Amino acid sequence: MIQLKNIYKEYRTGDIITKVLNDICLEIRKGEFVAIMGASGSGKTTLLNIIGCMDRPSKGEYILDGICVNKLKDKKLSEIRNKKVTFVFQNFALMEKYTAFENIELPLLRRHLSLHERKKIVTDVAKQLGIEEQLYKRPKQMSGGQQQRVAIARALASGADIILADEPTGALDHKNGLEFMNLLQQLNKQGKTIILVTHDKEVASYASRTIHILDGRILENV
Amino acid sequence: MDNYKILKLNVLFAGIVIICSAISIISVLSVSVLLNKKEYGIRIAFGYTKKSIMKSIFFEVLLLQIIAVVLSFIYVYYSYVNSKISAFNLIYLSTLRTYSLISLIVLLMVFLAIVMTVPLYILSRYEPAMLIKEEE
């Protein structure tokens, strides 16, 4: 389903070239729960951004469901981000100005759905995650755990099959972190592909496969 | 002072006002783009394109400018209508209805193009991943 072939990523600042990813070859099948582990600066978030079409590789091929993604134009990439892959970020990445409902509704706004249809999807997802009482609150009025649930509700509302989570428990306390990981595990059992970036071994233990990255190279894939 | 000198001073004053307002609008828009960077990044992560975000910023500013132009046009027009009737007033009014209106629309478009360049350039420099990352 996800195939990365000899992926390189480098950033240029004037004459200085920083190599972030070095010859990454990876395959992730549909329905897998994969953890990407590595120290800070090892390139794991960059790899996740490439998988999520938020960034393009400098060299190499990224094939998603048989389509070579790195040759696609911005519009097609945005369609992939809207329908095929979705994100859960460390700091929740909720829009402060908007309510939980409006945040969850975000991926649906690009789909020409009526307000009634959007409301139904958002309410269903909120019920599933137990946050229907929080729907008209703004992020600042919610606890960290509730905010992370809103973030995952937004990911689920998109209906995407691949959930990319970048240090999703990083801003949560231990109890909420475990709850969140159980939630991810449940979603994985329902058929969602989950790719998780973490440096926490306990968090990674929920995954069925762990990939270790060091200095932009895959060290271990077990 | 003769009328020609007064007119020249008026044009100079209007030019200075336009330049000053362009600078202040550019600054406000640039700061607004930088402050909303995270929101743009989030929108991009969930299916928006950078182009669609730029378009929405453009139309937001266009709408505000249209409102400003319409209000100022109505104010100037009625201040001439309500002032003492004179030959000058009649000329001013007919000029307002014809040449001034067209010039105003052209000026609005040029002004909009100038003030939008800097904030849109700032936004275009960021990769989608950087828009969210920078805030974290």
Report pTM: 0.86
Strand pairing report for A85-88 and A162-166: parallel
* A45 part of contact set with chain B, CB < 8 Å: yes
Q: Is residue B47 predicted with pLDDT exceeding 60? A: yes
Shortest distance between the Cα of B40 and any Cα of chain A, in A, equals 10
Per-residue pLDDT band for B83 (boundaries 50, 70, 90) equals confident
User: What value of ipTM does the predicted structure carry?
Assistant: 0.91
Shortest distance between the Cα of B42 and any Cα of chain A, in A, equals 7
What are chain A's domains?
30-54+81-221 (3.40.50.300)
Q: Is residue B6 predicted with pLDDT exceeding 50? A: yes
Token duo for residue A104: 């969850």
Q: What are phi and psi of B19, to 5 degrees?
A: -65, -45
Provide the 3-class DSSP secondary structure of residue A16: strand
Q: Read off the pLDDT of residues A66-97 as tens digits, 9 standing for 90 and up.
A: 999 988 999 999 999 999 999 999 888 999 99
CB contact under 8 A, A52 and B45: yes
Other CB atoms within a 10 A radius of the CB of residue A99 amount to 18
Shortest distance between the Cα of B53 and any Cα of chain A, in A, equals 12
Other CB atoms within a 10 A radius of the CB of residue B104 amount to 16
Best mutation target, A12, A40, A49, A75, to test chain B (most B CBs within 10 A): A49
Q: How many helices (H) and strands (E) does chain B have?
A: 6, 0
* A54 part of contact set with chain B, CB < 8 Å: yes
Query: Which chain A residue lies closest to B42 (C-alpha atoms)?
Result: A93
Please tell me the predicted confidence (pLDDT) of residue B104.
81
How much is the average pLDDT of B22-28?
A: 92
High-pLDDT (> 70) share of chain A, %? 100
Size of interface A-B (CB pairs under 8 A): 62
Structure-derived torsion over alpha carbons of residues A130, A80, A74, B119, reported in degrees to the nearest 10? 0
Shortest distance between the Cα of A208 and any Cα of chain B, in A, equals 26
Mean pLDDT score across all residues of chain B: 86
High-pLDDT (> 90) share of chain B, %? 35
Q: Is residue A8 predicted with pLDDT exceeding 70? A: yes
- Residue-number span of the structural domain to which B77 is assigned: 3-133
Best mutation target, A77, A78, A106, to test chain B (most B CBs within 10 A): A78
CB contact under 8 A, A55 and B129: yes
Query: Which chain B residue lies closest to A105 (C-alpha atoms)?
Result: B46
Domain count, chain B: 1
CB contact under 8 A, B44 and A81: yes
CB contact under 8 A, A106 and B46: yes
Best mutation target, B39, B42, B46, to test chain A (most A CBs within 10 A): B46
Q: Which of 41-100 (B) contact A at CB < 8 A?
A: 41-52
A65: enclosing H helix or E strand: none
Please tell me the predicted confidence (pLDDT) of residue B136.
45
Longest Cα–Cα distance of chain B, Å, equals 65
